[in-house]
Chain A
Amino acid sequence: MSEAQDYKYIGQRTIRPDGYDKVTGRANYAADLALPNMIWGKVLRSPHAHAKIKSIDTSAAEAHPDVFAVATHADIPNQRNPGALNILAKDKALYHGHAVAAVAARTEQAAEEALGLIKVDYEVLTPVMNLDDAMAPNAPLIHDQLFTNGLPEKPSKPSNVASRMEMSKGDIEAGFKEADIVIEREFRTPTVHQGYIEPHACTVRYDADGQSMIWCSTQGHFDVRGSTANMLNIEHSKLKVIASEIGGGFGGKTTVYIEPVAMILSRKSGRPVKIQMDRDEVFKGSGPASATRNKVKIGARKDGTITAMEAHLYYESGAFPGAAPLGPGCMTIFTPYDVENQYVEGFDVVVNKPKVAAYRAPGAPQSEFACEMVINELADELGIDPIDFRLKNAAKEDTQTLYGPKLKAVGLVECLEAAKSSPHYQSALEQGVGRGVAAGFWFNIGGVSSVIINMNPDGTGTVLEGSPDIGGSRASMQMMAAEELQLPIETFTTIIPDTAHLAHNDTTGGSRTTFATGMAVIEAAADVVRQFKERAAAVWNVTPEQVQWTDGVAINANGEDKMTAAEICANAGRTGGQITGRGNINARGAGPSFGVHIADIKVDRETGKADVVRYTAIQDAGKAIHPSYVEGQYQGGAAQGIGWSMNEEYIYNKDGLLENPGFLDYRIPLASDLPMIETIIVEVPNSFHPYGVRGVGETGIIPPLAACGTAVSKSIGIRMTELPLSPPRILKAIQEAS
């Protein structure tokens, strides 16, 4: 573990800089911008899950006196853009809620009326709503030219299976032969949504001179610029995207839905256009996570050594081939285990549901759920404590992963040990309570970040970073700048300017921001230090090498001279101009984060209702820059994972229509549904980051599925295999068993 006393500023629990805005309501979110002469856009959505669009007649809508513009797929300038078919449907509506047309009118009400005037001639087709139906021999085809990729030979017939992938190491057959016990199980997980509180909204303006602007809620405004510019043939320099304050994203705001539509409507009408999804549209028209069916087989020797691990994964992609996070599902499933013989096969399957989007550790919760459930069952069969069983087989430094690299120093063993000695795991179980433990692995990513630090004449500094702050990163950036410059945290203000003020930044995702953008901040701060030394050296008439930067002060190594940052900045105009630090990097060496969760659940055997009575999340942060935010990530991930396990699911009727597009019946956990989630921060430094940071945002959603799945199974004495563990499902299992 790294030593906190090495650092002056990082590792503190400072007051969050965005707190005041959010608490007072001053923060401006996506729906908060209104412009003069602005009109309202609304989207017409398919009432069918699967239908041919024979024609769209917009004439009556266009004739409406308050309507300024109508848009359909035909209005998208670059129809080859891979996202264009989801933005506005072309020949086929592929899911209930698929955008088909849009209007912009003087008022929201007029826009709504005009939607009712658009006549779409649909030929309704049989919907394909789950993996079993999609892969049935005579399944209706969603795309008649979809031939499975990745098979040894190109198939002769199209199907709903978009692709197949395979990974292996060692000798899987030999591995199972060595085993004394082999367990094979199949698991299912439902379609779930990220459930961010703030619906998608944007205000967009396209001016007559070709300049344009988007204000929206996004995890990556540079990518909003990239995809909208590409779809609409606009140069990047002419499209400015401003990221509003964001009310949650969890991966769901890494893509565009309404922004290009609003731009088309603005271009056609010459007016600023605002589009705001309502909650119903968010559930129907944005991107949920894949439903899956996963089969896992694991073999072990009596002494607890795992000899072979095999998985066959089926991921729904929604209606768009290749959207499922199948790769990460295959790559992560067995990574917590240092086992020589591993084999994974995965399939990406299309169904008539919305195009799958990223959701916190995309693809990993589903596959790791299956693996961890079997690991727990094996531990029980072998009579070994589930933590000891994992410790015996745990991945560590130099473990060869299935997907390529060998692991560097990682913290799985440390997390397992922390879990084992935690007050929670040491506590006795009450009658009727089941306990589940599960591990989780997520890679984390680095990527492109561009940061500028402008030093002001009074010695304060403004950090400009391009990663929308969904988890408290502005605070962490401020702290890392302070640490590197050895200046008080309050010296710095962090802002996230629009796309015109910084070079490109990758989207906030993959738990990359504190790691990668943090590294860019450190680099920019080092650039400032270098210039501070140069300026002081110039005044003292020495070389920069003769100047030290210590405790936020320049010191002349040859004498007694000192110069503060404020003095250097006040003088900057006379020593060569104002000082700007720059950090434009492509961060490599993201450190994986392992986590271990413990869940205690009590089931009411008469109603099937399961209550989480105690929960602990343990995870490796590398180095926690702001421990409260890190704990918040652990708790948030756990809460979402518990929701995924217990009650959340898209419910479709027999016609493929979504029956629960709202928070009343799409049941995310309420505060009162959860115990206080206890956290333990483990710190095994990532050697690639100056302070040892690993991303922490995603791993926390992975272990809850199997921790809860196991805890419920233990509480009722029945092995559950399908999520969510809703009261009717649990009751049914109890009744069938008795």
Chain B
Amino acid sequence: MVSVVYEAPDSIQDAVKLLATSKVKANVLAGGTDLLVQMRGQHEPRLIVDVKKIASMMAANVSADGVALGPAVPSAELSARDDIKAIFPGLVEAAYLIGSTQVQGRCSVGGNLCNSSPAADTIPALIANRAQCVIEGPDGERTVAVEDFVTGVQRNCMTKGELLTMIKLPQPAPRTSDAYLRFIPRTEMDIAVAGAGVSITLGEDGTCTDARVAIGAVAVTALLVPEAAAALIGSKLDDAALQAAADAASAASKPITDRRGTIEYRKHVVGVLVKRAAKIAAERAGG
């Protein structure tokens, strides 16, 4: 008989211990909207460590430092948090784009990040907002910038026994806001053909003083594109600057042709998304 063992510890220490000492394949379970789908038709023994009983994994706290986001907080809860939406509307939008109403009740930003799909919607938004990943494991705690967290298709920097325990979003400078846009051929329930997360900081006169641009679904991992940000910084986000950012994003992208889109199409569309997301973020930052 194949056995799947389910554990739901209430502390990070217990979770780390379970993961580190497991003799069979061990998986962290947050919302399960990736994990349970991936387990279908697989019959090997495994340990499932549900982290939803750990209070800090399910809490999101806003302070002067920014937002400390528990990785397992479901999207539906995040979308209901006006205090977080006020600071990071783009990130909340990205989390809201995941799946359907049913999926929203379960799926989490942490799960999205740890699943490490090239098309994950929240990752570009996290990168644009300078998110830091707090990882705990048998050897203690470490912090990794989100753009360094994902290392390949469904691969990340965590090793055996480690889990993501917190996503830290630093408090942005005044007159800063973000936006996330993705392209899918339908209106919902689809996987991004391309995605773009942009954070914009405006000076008093409306000049862009800082920017972060990240793109998704157009390379093995989501990419931070400093060249696109550079094209925006110092400009008033006029058409020429926006187009230069778009072109930089297209140039930085390394997409593939598959059933969801061609190389040419993805390169073009990711630029369009950067342009549009930058505009929305700037409107929000100025407002």
Using a CB–CB cutoff of 8 Å, the interface residues on chain A facing chain B are 109, 112, 606-609, 647, 651, 659-660, 664-665, 667, 669-670, 672-673, 726-728, 731-732
Residue of B185, B193, B260 with highest tally of chain A CB at under 10 A: B185
CB contact between B265 and one of A669, A673, A731 (< 8 Å): that residue: A731
Check A667–B185 contact: CB distance below 8 A: yes
Check A651–B187 contact: CB distance below 8 A: no
* B107 vs chain A, min Cβ distance (A): 16
> In the bound complex, what is the Cα–Cα distance between A112 and B41 (angstroms)?
9
Give 23 A-B contacts (CB < 8 Å), ordered by A residue: A109-B43, A606-B272, A608-B265, A609-B183, A609-B185, A647-B186, A651-B259, A659-B258, A664-B191, A667-B185, A669-B186, A670-B186, A670-B187, A670-B188, A673-B186, A673-B187, A726-B185, A727-B183, A727-B265, A728-B262, A728-B265, A731-B268, A732-B265
Chain A, Cβ-Cβ closest to B268: A731
**Chain A, interface SS category:** loop
Check A664–B185 contact: CB distance below 8 A: no
Of residues 246 through 262 on chain B, the ones whose CB sits less than 8 Å from some CB of chain A are 258-262
**Chain B, interface SS category:** loop
> In the bound complex, what is the Cα–Cα distance between A731 and B272 (angstroms)?
12
Check B259–A659 contact: CB distance below 8 A: yes
Q: Which B residues are CB-close (under 8 A) to A606? A: 272
Provide the B186-210 mask, 1 if CB < 8 A to any CB of A, else 0. 1111110100000000000000000
Q: Which A residues are CB-close (under 8 A) to B189? A: 664, 670
Told that A670-B189, A672-B186, A727-B183 touch, could you supply 20 new A-B pairs with CB distance under 8 A?
A109-B43, A112-B41, A606-B272, A607-B272, A609-B183, A647-B186, A659-B259, A660-B259, A667-B185, A667-B186, A667-B190, A669-B186, A670-B188, A672-B187, A673-B186, A673-B187, A726-B185, A727-B185, A727-B193, A731-B268
Check B260–A665 contact: CB distance below 8 A: yes
Q: Is B285 an interface residue (CB 8 A)?
A: no
> In the bound complex, what is the Cα–Cα distance between A607 and B264 (angstroms)?
12
Q: Is B73 an interface residue (CB 8 A)?
A: no
Given contacts A607-B272, A609-B185, contact A665 B259 (CB under 8 A): yes
Chain A, Cβ-Cβ closest to B276: A606
Q: Is B114 an interface residue (CB 8 A)?
A: no
Q: Is B282 an interface residue (CB 8 A)?
A: no
Q: Which A residues are CB-close (under 8 A) to B260? A: 665
Q: Which A residues are CB-close (under 8 A) to B265? A: 608, 727-728, 731-732
In order of increasing CB-CB distance, the 4 nearest A-B pairs are A672-B187, A728-B265, A659-B259, A606-B272
Chain B, Cβ-Cβ closest to A653: B259
Q: Which B residues are CB-close (under 8 A) to A109? A: 43
Residue of A112, A607, A647, A664 with highest tally of chain B CB at under 10 A: A607
Using a CB–CB cutoff of 8 Å, the interface residues on chain B facing chain A are 41, 43, 183, 185-191, 193, 258-262, 265, 268-269, 272
* B81 vs chain A, min Cβ distance (A): 24
* B251 vs chain A, min Cβ distance (A): 17
Q: Which B residues are CB-close (under 8 A) to A608? A: 265
Q: Which A residues are CB-close (under 8 A) to B272? A: 606-607
Check A664–B190 contact: CB distance below 8 A: yes
Given contacts A606-B272, A607-B272, A659-B259, contact A647 B188 (CB under 8 A): no
* B122 vs chain A, min Cβ distance (A): 19
Q: Which A residues are CB-close (under 8 A) to B186? A: 647, 667, 669-670, 672-673
Q: Which B residues are CB-close (under 8 A) to A673? A: 186-187
Residue of A660, A726, A727 with highest tally of chain B CB at under 10 A: A727
Check A647–B268 contact: CB distance below 8 A: no
Check B43–A607 contact: CB distance below 8 A: no
Q: Which A residues are CB-close (under 8 A) to B258? A: 659
Q: Which B residues are CB-close (under 8 A) to A665? A: 259-260
* B73 vs chain A, min Cβ distance (A): 25
Residue of B191, B261, B272 with highest tally of chain A CB at under 10 A: B272
> In the bound complex, what is the Cα–Cα distance between A728 and B262 (angstroms)?
8
Q: Which B residues are CB-close (under 8 A) to A647? A: 185-186
Chain B, Cβ-Cβ closest to A659: B259
> In the bound complex, what is the Cα–Cα distance between A142 and B260 (angstroms)?
30
Chain A, Cβ-Cβ closest to B266: A728
Q: Which A residues are CB-close (under 8 A) to B188? A: 670, 672
* A66 vs chain B, min Cβ distance (A): 13
* B56 vs chain A, min Cβ distance (A): 34
> In the bound complex, what is the Cα–Cα distance between A660 and B258 (angstroms)?
10
Check A728–B190 contact: CB distance below 8 A: no
* A132 vs chain B, min Cβ distance (A): 20
* B230 vs chain A, min Cβ distance (A): 23
Q: Which B residues are CB-close (under 8 A) to A667? A: 185-186, 190
> In the bound complex, what is the Cα–Cα distance between A733 and B32 (angstroms)?
41
* A735 vs chain B, min Cβ distance (A): 8
Given contacts A607-B183, A667-B185, A667-B186, contact A728 B261 (CB under 8 A): yes
Q: Which B residues are CB-close (under 8 A) to A670? A: 186-189
Chain A, Cβ-Cβ closest to B40: A278
Chain B, Cβ-Cβ closest to A666: B259
Q: Which B residues are CB-close (under 8 A) to A112? A: 41
* B104 vs chain A, min Cβ distance (A): 14
* A642 vs chain B, min Cβ distance (A): 12
Chain A, Cβ-Cβ closest to B275: A606
> In the bound complex, what is the Cα–Cα distance between A127 and B65 (angstroms)?
61
* A651 vs chain B, min Cβ distance (A): 5
CB contact between B269 and one of A607, A651, A659 (< 8 Å): that residue: A607
Q: Which A residues are CB-close (under 8 A) to B268? A: 731
Chain A, Cβ-Cβ closest to B187: A672
> In the bound complex, what is the Cα–Cα distance between A651 and B186 (angstroms)?
17
Chain A, Cβ-Cβ closest to B262: A728
* B191 vs chain A, min Cβ distance (A): 7
Chain A, Cβ-Cβ closest to B41: A112
Q: Which A residues are CB-close (under 8 A) to B269? A: 607, 727, 731
